[in-house]
Chains A and B, each alone.
Chain A
Amino acid sequence: MLSDDIDVINIANNWKKNGKKVALATVIQTWGSAPRGVGSKLVIDQDGNFEGSVSGGCVEGAVINEAMELFDGGTPKVLEFGVSNEMAWEVGLACGGTIKIYISELN
């Protein structure tokens, strides 16, 4: 656990206390050269505001979309992201690593 991730936990708590819907995404496993380590966190609210990170900015957009699905009644899930194919414009990591992220709503 890094102090930066505690900052994210504090923000999650504040947003929730202010009546927002809040989702928390955490890196739970990495292979190869992943930009952020296991335990790294991203917090997202219902308006798409976010703080923290689970990559170097590569997959955050996709994780935010998953958060919106959670707010619409989805269940906690595990997301996996691998190497991006630049030609296909798909979401992924340019660094060659693979990461697994667990996302759940704060309730």
Chain B
Amino acid sequence: MQESNLEKILENQKLRKSVVCLTNIDTAEEIILLKGESSKIENLDLEISQCIRFDISKLVTINSKNYFIDVYNPPLKLIIIGAVHIAQYLVDFAQNLSFDCKLIDPREGFANKERFPNTEIYNNWPDEVMESMDIDNRTAIVTLTHDPKIDDVALDFVLKKDCFYIGSLGSKKTHAARIERMSAKFSDEDIQKIHGPIGIDIGARSPSEIALSIISEIILSLRK
């Protein structure tokens, strides 16, 4: 691979843009294509757009030439509402899985650099900052305050977006109350997008175990 192409891939990762590295593996010729850019090779562009869409890399043969389509989609993003104890472990798990984590909590006592040394922190109400976060189909959202004043504001915003996972902490009772509040504003189909009670059932008890069940559910939603 050319060093300049590798730099382009990394640069576009930072810009959250999808690129493909297209290599003719017989000649070792390669080019970087931005999403939507044409390869100028007949019948290849459709394959490329499908690879980007389904996040898969693939070897294709066209007119006896072998091309490897290597997809580099933007990093996954996790937006956490509520800088609570569970969030400290969730950030750790998610960062190990290379999620780009953003933490929102207007309460500075909870969301601060001492408690979250390596996290991007927003001491704002969710609706003040979420518009600027480019929520897309590679974004997961988790609400952890179980305070409707904070969580509902975030849910109101993300239910209109195309993120791949929404989860809200709270008991069955809390979640039932949440659904009731939301049903005044959203359709049943929309409300069903919220995973609640959050996490897959592994019998989690401690904050770290609950964080593990949440991150597992996020990966499950992404891959299955």
Report A's interface with B, CB cutoff 8 A.
1, 3-4, 6-7, 9-10, 12-13, 16, 24, 26, 28-29, 38-39, 75-76, 78, 100, 102, 104, 106-107
B76 touches A104 (CB 8 A): no
> Please, how many angstroms separate the alpha-carbon atoms of A6 and B58 in the complex?
17
Determine if B28 and A39 form an interchain contact, defined as CB atoms under 8 angstroms apart.
no
Cβ–Cβ contact A29 & B59, under 8 A = yes
B56 closest partner in A (C-beta): A38
B13 touches A38 (CB 8 A): no
Whether A104 contacts B68 by the Cβ 8 Å rule is: no
**Of residues 1 to 22 in B, which have CB atoms within 8 Å of A's CB atoms?**
1-3, 6-7, 9-10, 13
Contact residue among B3, B9, B13, B25 (Cβ-Cβ distance under 8 Å from A78): B25
Interface residues of B (CB under 8 A from A): 1-3, 6-7, 9-10, 13, 23, 25, 28, 55-59, 68, 70-73, 75-76, 97-99
Chain B positions within 8 Å of A102 at CB level: 23, 25, 68
Once the chains bind, are A10 and B59 in contact (CB under 8 Å)? no
- Which residues of chain A come closer than 8 Å to B6, judged between CB atoms? 9, 12-13, 16, 106
Chain B contacts of A13 at CB under 8 A?
A: 3, 6-7, 10
Could you give 13 example pairs across A and B, Cβ below 8 Å? A6-B75, A9-B6, A16-B3, A16-B6, A24-B1, A29-B59, A38-B58, A38-B59, A39-B71, A102-B23, A106-B1, A106-B2, A106-B3
**Least distance between A75 CB and chain B CB atoms (Å):** 7
CA distance A107 to B7 in the complex (A): 12
Q: Chain B nearest CB: distance from A101 CB in Å?
A: 10
Q: Are A9 and B71 in contact (CB under 8 A)?
A: no
Q: Which of A3, A38, A76, A100 contacts B75 (CB 8 A)?
A: A3
Could you tell me the distance in whole angstroms from the C-beta of A100 to the nearest C-beta in chain B?
7
CB distance from B50 to the nearest CB of A (A): 14
A100 vs B66: C-alpha distance in the bound complex, in angstroms?
Answer: 13
Chain A to chain B: the 7 pairs with minimum beta-carbon distance, closest first: A3-B98, A39-B57, A76-B28, A28-B59, A29-B59, A28-B68, A38-B57
A28 touches B73 (CB 8 A): no
The A interface is mostly helix, strand or loop, or mixed, namely mixed
Q: How far is B2's CA from A10's CA once the two chains are assembled, in angstroms?
A: 14
Q: A16-B3, A28-B25 are in contact. List 13 more A-B contacts (CB 8 A).
A: A1-B71, A3-B76, A7-B98, A9-B10, A12-B6, A26-B57, A28-B59, A29-B59, A39-B56, A78-B25, A102-B23, A106-B2, A107-B3
Q: Are A104 and B72 in contact (CB under 8 A)?
A: no
Most buried by B among A1, A10, A104: A1
Known: A16-B3, A24-B1. A4 touches B73 (CB 8 A): no
| A55 → B minimal CB distance (Å) | 16
Least Cβ–Cβ distance between B75 and chain A, in angstroms: 6
> Quick one: closest A residue to B9, CB to CB?
A9
A107–B2 contact, CB under 8 A?
yes
Q: Which residues of A contact B58 (CB under 8 A)?
A: 38
Q: Which residue of A lies closest to B19 (CB)?
A: A1
